[in-house]
């Protein structure tokens, strides 16, 4: 039985409950959820109110026989329970259930009025506490998102229900109407409550519309946050016209700190990532659909939504891979990097967390290379403006990338080249085949940098039995001198194919492995990712020396 992987930051929960898509009725569904909470609380309150009335103190001869009846809170509690069941049912559309909630508000105010007015009023009476109708209307307007017009109709009807309750009590008990000087104090709070409820509802509705517009990134609508990191968030999204699922990396300017120059530098880096990735054509590079700036100044770019897990998680959860499977995946990584190098781009942050294996169509173990955020234009491919931008982006003078996979020349502060990606690729191969880092004993980021810059690596043959040609290839990629490494990713790919290992990992093997991985159930059980997820950090954190 294969152990389940952890959820990845950019993935697709096929068939899971978290797969719900935001529709125009989103705020109605929020209203229904809150109504269910309100009616549940009212059910409990009705039961407790009935108990309190049942255990009430005797009136000590004051207006004997006119105590409030136990029936009113009991009936209100029962109606609240029935409404709760109706709201929880899917028999009615959300809009109709919200209408039911407005009716429930009016009925609640009528019964509250009955309870309030049951004792006859005398000329010596003062107002009996706050108006329950005013309190109910204000609470409803503040908690349940309702369009202003519908809230106005419901609030006015609730206030009139209070007057109707007084009339009914006077008719049933054959008692006189309250003195004229009490009418103002009885019903004036309701009038003010109606006005405040309408204003509150209008404000909340405008706020909801503002949030909805902010959540729309170009032609895409944000659906569910998949995770967050130091620089921003990754969201599940869909195209508003085509309903095409996608993943959006969203970088909010306010999360980047107060230095405008640093903010602009980082946003420029993300924009370059989007442009650079979109220019690549390898099927093993994650596809970028769109990028831009939102109304609130956030930068975003839209990627394909992947159904899989990253190589860091794969090995961490399942251990080192069989050589056949590892080579099968490495050949595909070569394809993505060769395409990037051919177009004058250096990735500069190749590591297992930036490489995913996916289920794509009928294919399994389909590789996607992500996170070209540190991509660098080769001098032959960049204009003078690009060169200026490159100088600004690296002005901080720190090596860019992840220390555990950083080429020696980059660790020493030199420029990254395609051969630097070859070295990082060797580190990834080492991780997949041996199940450990090249310098697993090095402590911390600085220890990793020093080890990669100076120390000879242990032969991978010390940790796993491999063919001589595969061992030689991995160790050749890890040469300190770039000139001694394979001259290109195309050469690496050819030497991997010459081992004949990739052909031994068949589609049947892939399908058997993936058939035991229930990603939808896993993702649903994991819930929203947080910044402790290593794959998420790899996707969202600012470029730094880890």
How far, in Å, CA of 44 to CA of 78, rounded?
10
User: In this structure, is the dihedral angle defined by the CA atoms of residues 491, 448, 374 and 535, taken in order, positive or negative?
Assistant: positive
Please list, in sequence order, all residues whose beta carbon lies within 8 angstroms of the beta carbon of residue 377, skipping any fewer than 6 positions away: 276, 344, 345, 346, 386, 390
Tokens of 76: 């209100």
User: In this structure, is the dihedral angle defined by the CA atoms of residues 493, 497, 503 and 504, taken in order, positive or negative?
Assistant: negative
DSSP characters over 262-323: HHHHHHHHHHHHHHHHHT---TTB--EEEEEE-TTS-EEEEEPPP-EEEHHHHHHHH-SPPH
Tokens of 475: 């160790």
Tokens of 35: 């109504």
Please list, in sequence order, all residues whose beta carbon lies within 8 angstroms of the beta carbon of residue 468, skipping any fewer than 6 positions away: none
Cβ count within 10 A of residue 519:
22
Q: Give burial (CB, 10 Å; 0-12/13-18/19+) of 17.
A: exposed
Q: Are 366 and 359 in contact (CB under 8 A)?
A: yes
State the catalytic residues. Answer: 349
């Amino acid at each position: 039985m294969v152990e389940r992987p952890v959820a990845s930051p950019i993935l697709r929960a096929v068939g899971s409950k978290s797969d719900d898509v935001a529709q125009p009725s989103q705020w109605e569904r929020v209203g229904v959820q809150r109504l269910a909470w309100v009616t549940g609380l009212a059910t409990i309150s009705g039961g407790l109110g009935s108990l309190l009335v049942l255990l009430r103190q005797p009136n000590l001869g004051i207006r004997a026989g006119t105590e409030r009846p136990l029936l009113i809170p009991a009936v209100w509690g029962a109606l609240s329970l029935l409404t709760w069941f109706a709201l929880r049912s899917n028999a009615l559309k959300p809009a109709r259930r919200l209408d039911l909630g407005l009716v429930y508000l009016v009925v609640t105010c009528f019964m509250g009025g009955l309870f309030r007015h049951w004792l006859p009023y005398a000329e010596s009476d003062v107002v009996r506490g706050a108006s329950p109708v005013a309190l109910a209307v204000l609470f409803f307007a503040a908690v349940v998102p309702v369009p202003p017009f519908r809230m106005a109709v419901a609030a006015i009807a609730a206030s009139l229900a209070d007057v109707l309750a007084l009339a009914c009590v006077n008719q049933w008990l054959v008692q006189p109407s309250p003195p004229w000087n009490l009418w103002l104090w009885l019903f004036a709070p309701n009038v003010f409550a109606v006005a405040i409820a309408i204003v509150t509802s209008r404000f909340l509705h405008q706020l909801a519309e503002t949030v909805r517009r902010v959540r729309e990134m170009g032609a895409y609508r944000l659906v569910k946050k998949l995770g967050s990191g130091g620089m921003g968030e990754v969201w599940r999204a869909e195209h508003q016209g085509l309903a095409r699922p996608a993943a959006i990396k969203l970088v909010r300017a306010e999360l980047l700190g107060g230095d405008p120059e640093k903010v602009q530098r980082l946003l420029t880096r993300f924009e370059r990532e989007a442009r650079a990735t979109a220019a690549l054509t390898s099927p093993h590079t994650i596809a970028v659909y769109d990028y831009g700036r939102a109304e609130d100044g956030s930068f975003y770019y839209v990627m394909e939504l992947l159904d899989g897990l990253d190589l860091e998680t794969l090995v961490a959860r399942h251990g080192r891979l069989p050589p056949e499977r590892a080579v099968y995946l490495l050949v595909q990584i070569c394809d993505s990097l060769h395409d990037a190098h051919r177009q004058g781009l250096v990735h500069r942050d190749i590591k297992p967390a930036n490489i995913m294996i996916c289920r794509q169509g009928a294919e399994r173990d389909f590789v996607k290379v992500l996170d070209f955020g540190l991509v660098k234009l080769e001098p032959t491919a960049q204009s003078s403006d690009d060169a200026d931008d490159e100088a600004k982006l690296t002005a901080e003078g720190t090596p860019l990338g992840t220390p555990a996979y950083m080429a020696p020349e980059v660790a020493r502060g030199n420029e990254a080249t395609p051969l630097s990606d070859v070295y990082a690729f060797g580190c990834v191969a080492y991780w997949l085949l041996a199940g450990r880092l090249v310098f697993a004993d090095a402590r911390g980021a600085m220890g990793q940098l020093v080890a990669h810059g100076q120390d000879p690596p242990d032969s991978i043959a010390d940790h796993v039995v491999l063919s001589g040609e595969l061992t030689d290839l991995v160790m050749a990629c890890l040469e300190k001198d770039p000139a001694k490494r394979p001259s290109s990713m195309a050469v690496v790919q050819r030497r991997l194919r010459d081992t004949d290992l990739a052909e031994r990992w068949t589609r049947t093997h892939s399908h058997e492995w993936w058939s035991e991985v229930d990603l939808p159930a896993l993702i649903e059980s994991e819930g929203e990712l947080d910044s402790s997820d290593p794959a998420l950090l790899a996707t969202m954190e600012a470029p730094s020396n880890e």
